[in-house]
């Protein structure tokens, strides 16, 4: 029995480089950075003072004042990107199809801002002053819950929490749901809003963040020998996944076809990836096998590329293990050099970049690439966007706990 084919018919994004698809893509391909000094709280005592914050975001453009007030920032981002994606797909959800439309949205950390603020209220004013909305504002699965309520989508509804792989795993899990005929349409993606004192302090204590405070826009330097840690980002990315015939019958615009998904575990360490790259390489291989695509057919990889010493070296090794000699012919770039690391939203936002690269035959660059690292020896599309026909592309995400997720798309043909 042949698999049901799944296509991408809608895109939505809230990001440090743009709060809609047009601005997001334009800024990415121009190499514009969204990284700057943190201005939401006093960072004078923090070793890292920079992040990629979402700017000029107005939740009331997407939500009623009452609903916005009852949502953590990560929920507001998810709702906004979800609405963009549904409108972009020109998708109507009504009583006739609601049971066949699902929502699957991941978040690595969830409502940490609400959690910490309400904890302060608890300590200062006592338990009676804690908001009754604390729990529904904080729990990670509420992004999928809120988006399903917004549109009345009653199909499969869930949340995959796999740290920085959450967005990619959620899209992959939604892909499987459609393939298995449990839904015809899925609103899927990832969301994160954890640029808060507690979260930044936690990552600082791990020494995971860049401390290149003198040059915020140059701080995220994936695959460069001077890389010194990742830069925190935030935002949300949503895609509309749709069974091919369902999309064709309603005359939907099809951006690309999602053809493969691979997910593995390193079983190695709580935060460090396996430096040998075995787990990540197996995820690449599994995704390509799932897609029925050979390594030689891959044109472009949007890498996890965090700008940390261990990750970038390991990921380069994994790509070479999975693709063999063809790895040196594939264009690889990390858009985290501009968006920062959006954690649980990263995979979804980066799949959107891959989809647009396929549509426009244009590869976003790896910004800030100045000093080649001998252990990172692939073609990283340095500093300037590149015109290139993209028939097959990959987006990969790697999360704390050893989670590896790889998605494969290709140009759509009936």
Structure-token pair, residue 131: 């908001």
Helices (H), 97-253: 112-125, 134-138, 142-151, 166-179, 197-205, 244-249
Q: Where are the beta strands (DSSP E) in 193-273?
A: 235-243, 256-265
What separation in angstroms does the CA of 103 have from each of 110, 171, 248, 265, 322? 16, 10, 21, 24, 31
Residue labelled with tokens 């698999």: 3
Dihedral over alpha carbons 267, 271, 272, 277 (to 10 degrees): 50
Q: Give CA–CA dist 308/298, Å, rounded.
A: 25
> Phi-psi category of 101—alpha, beta or left, where left has phi over 0 and alpha has psi -120 to 50?
beta
Residue 159 among the catalytic residues? no
Residue 357 · residue 262 · CB < 8 Å:
no
Residue 115 among the catalytic residues? no
Across-strand partners of 260? 408
Rg, the chain, Cα only: 20
Annotated catalytic residue within 204, 304, 358, 376: 304
For residue 412, how many other CB atoms are within 10 A of its CB? 19
Give which of 396, 400, 238 is closest to 332, Cα–Cα. Answer: 396
Provide the 8-state DSSP code for 272.
S
Return all residues near 223 (Cβ < 8 A) that are at least 6 apart: 305, 312, 316, 334, 366, 369, 373, 376, 378, 380
Annotated catalytic residue within 159, 246, 341, 376: 341
Calculate helix-pair angle for 309-323, 278-291, nearest 10 degrees.
40
Annotated catalytic residue within 115, 159, 164, 204: 164
Q: Give CA–CA dist 371/394, Å, rounded.
A: 25
Give which of 395, 286, 294 is closest to 335, Cα–Cα. Answer: 395
Q: Which residues are catalytic?
A: 164, 304, 341
């Amino acid at each position: 029995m042949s698999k049901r084919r799944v296509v991408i018919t809608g895109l939505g994004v809230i990001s440090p480089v743009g709060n809609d698809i047009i601005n997001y893509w334009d800024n990415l391909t121009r190499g514009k950075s969204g990284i700057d000094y943190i201005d939401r709280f006093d960072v004078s005592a923090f070793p890292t003072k920079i992040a990629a914050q979402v700017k000029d975001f107005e939740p009331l453009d997407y939500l009623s004042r009452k609903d916005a007030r009852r949502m953590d920032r990560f929920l507001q981002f998810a709702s906004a990107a979800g609405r963009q994606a549904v409108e972009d797909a020109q998708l109507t959800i009504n009583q006739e199809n609601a049971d066949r439309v699902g929502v699957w949205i991941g978040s690595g950390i969830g409502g940490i801002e609400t959690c910490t603020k309400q904890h302060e209220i608890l300590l200062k004013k006592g338990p009676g002053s804690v908001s009754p909305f604390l729990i529904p504002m904080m729990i990670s699965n509420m992004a999928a819950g809120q988006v399903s309520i917004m549109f009345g989508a009653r199909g499969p509804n869930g949340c995959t929490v796999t740290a920085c792989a959450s967005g990619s795993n959620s899209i992959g899990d939604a892909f499987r749901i459609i393939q298995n005929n449990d839904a015809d349409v899925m609103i899927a993606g990832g969301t994160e809003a954890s640029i808060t004192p507690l979260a930044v302090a936690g990552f600082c204590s791990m020494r995971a963040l860049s401390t290149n405070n003198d040059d915020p826009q140059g701080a995220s330097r994936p695959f460069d020998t001077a890389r010194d840690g990742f830069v925190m980002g935030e935002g949300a990315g949503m895609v509309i996944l749709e069974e091919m015939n369902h999309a064709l019958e309603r005359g939907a615009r099809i951006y690309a076809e999602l053809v493969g998904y691979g997910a593995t575990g390193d079983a190695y360490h709580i935060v460090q990836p396996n430096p040998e790259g075995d787990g990540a390489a197996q995820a690449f291989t599994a995704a390509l096998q799932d897609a029925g695509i050979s390594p030689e057919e891959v044109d472009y990889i949007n890498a996890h590329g965090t700008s940390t010493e261990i990750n970038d070296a390991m990921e380069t090794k994994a790509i070479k293990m999975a693709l063999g000699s063809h790895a040196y012919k594939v264009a690889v770039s990390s858009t985290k050099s501009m968006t920062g690391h959006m954690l649980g939203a990263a995979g979804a936002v980066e799949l959107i970049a891959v989809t647009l690269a396929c549509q426009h035959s244009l590869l976003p660059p790896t910004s800030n690439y100045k000093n080649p690292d001998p252990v990172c020896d692939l073609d990283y599309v340095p500093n300037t966007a590149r015109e290139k026909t993209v028939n097959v592309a990959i987006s990969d995400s790697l999360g704390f706990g050893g989670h590896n997720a790889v998605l494969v798309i290709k140009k759509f043909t009936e």
